[in-house]
Chain A
Amino acid sequence: MTDSHAATQHGPELLHHFADEEQQRNSASLGMWLFLGTEIMFFGGMFLAYLVYRLNYFTDFAAASSSIKVPLGAINTAVLLCSSLTVVMAVRAAQMGKRKLLIWMLILTLIFGLAFLAIKGVEWHEKYEEHHIPGNFMGRAFDISDIQQAHPKLFVDPQHAQIFFSLYFAMTGIHALHMIVGVGIFIWLIYKAWKGDFGPKYYTPVEIAGLYWHFVDVVWIYLFPLIYLIDRKPL
């Protein structure tokens, strides 16, 4: 290594096939966005299925949707938005080399993420208690007589309501799975930040994990109105 490469004198954070740190960061960012492009199509397929059935079975979907508690969904939206704020603060802390602040922001993000999953769990448990899980989950046959009673003026087709709840569990379930993956990534980030691996010259993992986290937030921004708020007008 007597050539020009040794003469450029860069730290271990810069891989030698990149010209400089900015190029390395941009490449990582581009790669993450390509992955998010596949994620957009992945979630897009489920949104499409949802839209097709919602167009056809609108009243059944609206009635089934009204059995889900809006406050739980709204609070969870706020929780996720707070976690997105702590993520951008974490990226900024890493850029400025503030290790302690970075660790705290990552821990806060983790707490918000776990709070989201806990609230989600409460909501799912409620659906289980109400017999709203499609099929015959753990001996509880799907039953929407409570939804039918709440909407005396219209007939709610149980088959169509079942499609709504299948999509509800698939979409919030896959979203929650992404949250669980995010929680794992952030635990790893906290460990790396604790070791002091991140600083102004190298914070790529914080930044691209942040991109992933924000993307999951954006998916929820659409899930909230589409699942919880189909038709809440007084009858």
Chain B
Amino acid sequence: MSEHGGSTKLYWIIWASLIVLTFVTAGVAYLDLGKFNTVVALAIATFKATLVILFFMHVKDASERLTKVVIISSIFWLLIMLGLSLADFGTRTIGS
């Protein structure tokens, strides 16, 4: 628990970045980037989620290793489910 009673500056910076990115992602949605609209939206969302997990949920410097293993494997399972399912559904059309 290295952040015990430390400065709150970092929390404010993370919060401000998250707010700015929220409006960036809303703004970018109105631009025509073709297929990249979805990519940009998901990239920004993933960056925001990473900021929350690392700094607000204290995974960066406060968690023990076993907790990190649980977090990484949870995300890995999710990616297996999404990846393998989309490899199927993404290559055919429903009902055909």
Binding site for B on A (CB under 8 A): 22, 25-26, 29-30, 33-34, 36-37, 40-41, 44-45, 47-48, 51-53, 55-56, 70, 73-74, 77-78, 81-82, 84-85, 87-89, 92, 95-96, 210-211, 214-215, 217-218, 221-222, 224-226, 228-229, 231-234
Contact = CB atoms under 8 A, between A and B. Distances in A.
Given A37-B71, A92-B11, 14 more contacts: A25-B1, A26-B63, A30-B67, A41-B78, A48-B81, A51-B82, A52-B94, A85-B12, A96-B4, A221-B45, A229-B41, A231-B37, A232-B29, A233-B32
A interface: dominant SS:
helix
Contacts of A218: 49, 52-53
Given A74-B23, A85-B11, A214 B74 contact: no
A210 B3 CA distance: 16
B67 A84 contact: no
Contacts of B18: 81, 84
Contact of B49 (A211, A221, A231, A233): A221
24 contacts: A26-B66, A29-B63, A30-B64, A44-B81, A56-B89, A56-B94, A74-B22, A78-B22, A81-B22, A82-B15, A84-B15, A84-B18, A87-B56, A95-B1, A214-B57, A215-B57, A218-B49, A224-B25, A225-B42, A225-B45, A228-B26, A228-B29, A231-B37, A233-B31
B67 A26 contact: yes
B22 A234 contact: no
A81 B86 contact: no
A41 B63 CA distance: 22
Interface of B: 1, 3-6, 8, 11-12, 15, 18-19, 22-23, 25-26, 29-32, 37, 41-42, 44-45, 48-49, 52-53, 55-57, 63-64, 66-67, 70-71, 73-75, 77-78, 81-82, 85-86, 89-90, 93-94
Contacts of B4: 95-96
A89 B11 contact: yes
Contacts of B66: 26, 30
A29 B71 CA distance: 11
Nearest to A82: B15
B29 A229 contact: yes
A86 to B, nearest CB: 10
A84 B74 contact: no
A85 B94 CA distance: 43
A148 B93 CA distance: 24
B67 A88 contact: no
A45 B31 CA distance: 30
Nearest to A233: B32
Contacts of B56: 84-85, 87-88, 210, 214, 217
Contacts of B53: 214, 218
Contact of B73 (A37, A47, A55, A70): A37
Nearest to B55: A88
B47 to A, nearest CB: 9
A51 B11 CA distance: 33
A37 B81 CA distance: 13
